Copies of this chain bind each other. A is one copy, B any other.
Amino acid sequence: MNKVIRVDMSQLTVSVEPVPTRWAGLGGRGLTSTIVAEEVPPGCHPLGPNNKLVFAPGLLSGTPAAQSGRLSAGAKSPLTGTIKESNAGGTAAQQLARLGIKALIVEGLPAGDTWYRLHVTQQGVSIESAAELTGKQNFAVIDKMIDTYGPKIGVMSIGVPGELRMCAANISVKDPDQKIRSHGRGGLGAVMGAKRIKCITIDDAGAGKVPIANPDKFREAAKIFAKSLLDHPVSGEGLPTYGTNILINILNEAGGLPTKNFRYGQCAHHEKICGETMHDTIVARGGKHKHGCHAGCIIQCSQVYVDKAGGYITSGFEYETIWGLGANAMIEDLDDIAICDHLMDDIGIDSIEGAVLLSAAMEAGIIAWGDGKECQRVLREEIGKGTPLGRILGNGTASVGKVYGLVRVPVVKNQGIPAYDPRAVKGIGVTYATSTMGADHTAGYTIATNILKVGGYVDPLKKDGQVDLSRNLQIATAAVDSTGMCVFIAFPALDIPESFTALIDLINAAYDLSLTADDVTELGKNILKLEHDFNIAAGFGPADDRLPEFFSYEAIPPHNAVWDFSDEELDAFWDF
């Protein structure tokens, strides 16, 4: 990856630059956050001319290493106001890497009302009219681009909510089977919409393989790394069999499955929506219970969920979405939840934010609790079309809370809190509160250690050790998010020493480096700190690293736990 491409939407020009030395050792989140921190004024309006949208493959993207096909997108988030990195599978990371594109930076805003699309090839980037695509949702955009460029084309697109700059809008990425993966969190689709880019297509025809400095060493490390993934019970067995939705029963058992907008920690109908039921349903109907989000994935935690007649409903059907609609919004029918998931893919909104905001709409009395059909209508007819109600909802959970005057609004830095109750699983609460991204379980997934007992065990109901746990995981995750690796490599990396060593060997072999584990930790720390510095300059301080007040006075059954960290305890997170 030897070039950086800048697209200036104010001037409608494209320039190709060599990679500055200071960016050479960075990829993925490390690179997107560095570029945003260097080039975006922290106080700027996220939808204004001074924000930039940055895409960067990880350091290992495009290589044959397992799980390395994740793409990072970064910007100042219109949802949170913080710096934001959101990563996704799909084909784009590997295609950009093969084209040698270290980063694609989109700047400025076009004058006038014209919509554009970008087409990325070996020849560079062209800016085309997207007049025929506006008003279309994602699957229609992908179909149209496949018609134009053939089935191998990479596509990143936004639906109507993105065009309308809604803060829940994501950026959808076509996967190898024409399904959709998402840069979900933080409203990056709205940033793309503000820049009036409907989609970005990537044609890597003619591009060679990604160069590997030491192929033998790389092959050997890749083998050990892959074996560790298959050997670990979570990545080798649990996820491939039940998908991430294996977590419904586990969290319900732990009393940490937020139910009815975070009122309860257990859900009476958990068996109807759990991973085991989902697996059996898929198998019985002839769907696929294993599916990878990118070429080279050997975990295959995705699936193809089909209806009773075997027809496609959705893919990439994740625990957090199923939790949000199933337990938190009380929808009991998994098919209804699957249709909602498909609709969120199609219109292009984050399915975590989407699930949490639909629960908030129920809290506000807009939708009846558990009414899956009405959720589908709201997604299709309101959010998907940008009615006033649709815009309120499509701007996220915090928007619903604000506009309807709610007090029980589960957000941190305006981003919806995902599928793990912070009172019953206190480590993840520390992550929600302190993450540079707003409430984000993936930023420091303490569930691994609090609940799954991966990498040791820290009692989820006690405060002891949670800040350290979250800090260590957030540092490690920031580094992993820079490699292009999927976050689930953390399971073997935390438990199997050779796995983590092999990951470092992969980077060393690819780039002829001699990084150590300490270097990786240092990278993670640096990323967190530069993101934190950006946020501070944007106006965030310790008082923003807090959970919503109601967690402190509403005890959650069955443990009747409250959120009880002091300000000092939380602020100690940044002591490193």
Contacts and interface: CB of A to CB of B under 8 A. Distances in A.
Interface of A: 41-45, 47-50, 78, 164-167, 190, 193-194, 387-389, 391-392, 395, 399, 402-407, 409, 536-541, 543-544, 546, 548-550, 553
Contacts of A402: 167, 395, 399, 402
Contact of A45 (B45, B194, B387, B550): B550
30 contacts: A41-B549, A42-B543, A43-B543, A43-B549, A45-B409, A45-B548, A45-B549, A45-B550, A47-B407, A48-B407, A49-B553, A50-B549, A78-B405, A164-B404, A165-B404, A165-B405, A190-B405, A388-B403, A391-B403, A391-B404, A392-B392, A399-B402, A399-B403, A402-B402, A537-B543, A538-B543, A539-B540, A539-B541, A539-B544, A541-B541
A403 B395 contact: yes
The count of identical subunits is: 2
A43 B546 contact: yes
B541 A47 contact: no
Contacts of A537: 543
Contacts of A42: 543
Contacts of A164: 404-405
A42 B399 CA distance: 21
Contacts of A409: 45
Contacts of A41: 549
A44 B549 contact: yes
Nearest to A539: B543
Contacts of A550: 45, 48
Nearest to A567: B43
A194 B405 contact: yes
A549 B543 CA distance: 24
A82 to B, nearest CB: 12
Contacts of A78: 405
A415 to B, nearest CB: 14
A414 to B, nearest CB: 10
